[in-house]
Amino acid sequence: MAQEHPIAKVEATTPMAIGLWQRARDRTDRIARDSPSRLALAVFAIIIIVFTSLLQLPIATSSGDRAPLVDSFFTATSAVCVTGLVTVDTATYWSPIGQFFIAIAMMVGGLGVMTLASILGMAVSRHIGLTRRFLAAGETHSGLGEVGSLVRAVFVVSLSVQSILFVALTPFFLKEGEPLLKAAWYSFFMSASIFNNGGFVIMPEGLAPHVGDWTLTLPIMLGTIVGAIGFPVILDIARNKNRADKWNLTTKISLVTYLVLLVVGAVVLFVFEFGNNATLGSLSTIDKINAALTQSISSRSSGLATINIGSMDESSLFVTAALMFIGGGSASAAGGIKITTLAVLVLAIIAEARGDRDTEAFGRRVPPDVLRLAIAVTFLGATMVGAGTIALLQLTNLPLSDVLFEAISAFATCGLSTGITPDLPASAKVILSVLMFAGRTGTMSLAAALALRSRRRVIRLPEERPTVG
C-alpha cells in the first residue's frame, strides 16, 4: 500500500485550516457587527483569564508554589483593568516572571481592548476594516474616519511616554543604590504602572519613603496626567498644537475640567491633612505641596500614593472618593464616570439655573442625547458602587466608610486602598473584581452588552411635564 506523501498531506490540510480560520473570522465579524459591546466584554474577559492562568504557574510566585486561584484572578483583573488593588504584596509575593506578567497585563489593559483589537487588525491585514473601525470608535469616542490615525497615535504615545518615563526613572533608582539591572527593571515596571494608571508598586518599601522627592513624584504626576487625559485629546492637541482655538469641544472641556479638579483636590487635601502627622503634618511646606499634588492626581486614576491612605482624615477620604468616582478623560487609561461626564452635568445645571434653553460651552451647543448619556453613565456608576458596597457589607463586618471607599476605588479602577483588601474573604474579592471589570469596560458598554435590542420608535407620544424638585 502506497504511503501518502507529506507534502500532499500539508496541501490537503492547509485549505481546511484556511476555511476554519475564515469561518471563525466571519463569525467574529458578525458578532462585532450585531453586538460590538458584547464582543468587547468577551475579549476583555478572555484576556483576564489568560493572565490568571499565567499567574497560576508556580514560576510566577517567589516561593515557587502555585498561588491561590482567587489571588491570581484578583491580581490579573486588577492589572488588566489597570486598577492596582492587591490581595498580596506585589514586590515580595510574585517572582520577577510574575511581575513581568503583571506589567504586560497593565500595558494591554491601558491600551483598551477595542483599540488593541484594531492594532492587531492592522498588524495582520495592514489596514483597519470597517468592523474594527466601529470597535475602535466605540472605545475612543471618535469618528470612523479618524480611527486609523487615532490607533497609531495610541500605540506611538504609549510606547513613547513609557520610554521617556523609563529614562527618567532609571537615574532615580540608581541614586537609591540599586544595581543597574535592578534599576532598569524597576523603571520598566513603574513606567508601565504610571502611564497606564495601573497603580502597582514593585518596590518592597512602597512609595511612602520617597514622599516629597520630585525626582520620583514628578514623573508619576506627568505620566499619570498623559495617561489619564485621553488619547483623542492628545491627538487633537498634536494636530493643532499651535492653534488652541481649533481644539474640539472634548479637548477644551477635558483640559479645563481636569485642571480645575487637580487644583481643587490638591488645595482641599493640603488644608485637611496639614496638621495630620500621620500624613502631611510632619513634612516641610514644599513636601506638603508635593504630596498634595501627587495625591490629587493619583486619586483620579493611578492610585500611586506617597502617603498612608488609611491614616487620612475622614473629610480627605470623602474628597478622595469623589475624585476617584469622577476619574479621568474618555478613551484613556483612567476609570470613573469620566471628566467630560461631570462637565456636561455641571453645564446642564448652570444652563437650568440661568433659564437657558440649551446647554452650551465654548461657543458650542451640547446635544440633549449627550446629557442623557451623562446622566445614564453617572446613575449606572453610582448604582454599581451602591450594589457592590451593600454586597461587601453583607460579607464583612467592616465599617461603611472603608467598604464604600474600596468599592469606589475598584469601580473607578483607581487602586487606592485603606488597607482592607488583603484581609477580605474570597467572596468579597470576587465582588471587587466584578466592580473593576465593570468600571474598566465602561458602564454604557456594559449596559449595551446586556441589552437585548434597541428600539427606534416612529410614533412619539404626547408631551407632558411631570413635577420635578
Query: Domain spans of the chain?
Result: 11-444
Asked if residue 281 lies in contact with residue 275, where contact means CB atoms within 8 angstroms, the answer is yes
Spell out the alpha helix ranges (H) of 112-179: 113-125, 130-140, 147-175
**Residue 2: HSE in the Cβ half-sphere, 13 Å Cα cutoff:** 4
Neighbours of 415 (CB within 10 A): 30
Q: What is the per-residue pLDDT for 432? A: 96
Interior CA angle at 428 toward 393 and 41, to 5°?
120
Angle between helices 69-80 and 426-441 in degrees, nearest 10: 20
Average pLDDT of the chain to the nearest whole number: 85
DSSP 178-199: --HHHHHHHHHHHHHHHHTT--
Interior CA angle at 235 toward 234 and 241, to 5°?
80
Encoded amino acid at 183, one letter: A
Asked if residue 412 lies in contact with residue 84, where contact means CB atoms within 8 angstroms, the answer is no
Cell of 290: 508635593
Distance between CA atoms of 295 and 313, rounded to whole angstroms?
14
338 Rama sector, left if φ>0, alpha if ψ -120 to 50, beta otherwise? left
Q: What is the per-residue pLDDT for 292? A: 95
pTM of the model: 0.87
Q: What is the per-residue pLDDT for 129? A: 62
Q: What is the per-residue pLDDT for 29? A: 61
Distance between CA atoms of 346 and 378, rounded to whole angstroms?
12
**What's 316-380 look like in SS3?**
HHHHHHHHHHHCCCCCCCCCCCCHHHHHHHHHHHHHHHHCCCCEEECCEEECHHHHHHHHHHHHH
| Distance separating the N- and C-terminal Cα atoms of the chain | 89
Q: What is the per-residue pLDDT for 272? A: 95
Cell of 103: 506589567
Enumerate the β-bridge partners of residue 360: 365
Cell of 127: 489596514
| pLDDT (tens digit per residue) in 79-131 | 999 999 999 999 999 999 999 999 999 999 888 765 665 555 555 455 556 55
Q: What is the per-residue pLDDT for 35? A: 60
Q: What is the per-residue pLDDT for 399? A: 93
Distance between CA atoms of 274 and 268, rounded to whole angstroms?
10
Interior CA angle at 339 toward 368 and 443, to 5°?
70
The segments of the chain whose pLDDT lies below 50 read 1, 9-10, 124, 452-453
Spell out the alpha helix ranges (H) of 61-95: 69-80, 90-93
Ramachandran angles phi, psi of 212, nearest 5°: 85, -5
Cell of 453: 435590542
Cell of 462: 404626547
Q: What is the per-residue pLDDT for 452? A: 44
Choose among 236, 40, 217, 70: nearest CA to 136: 40
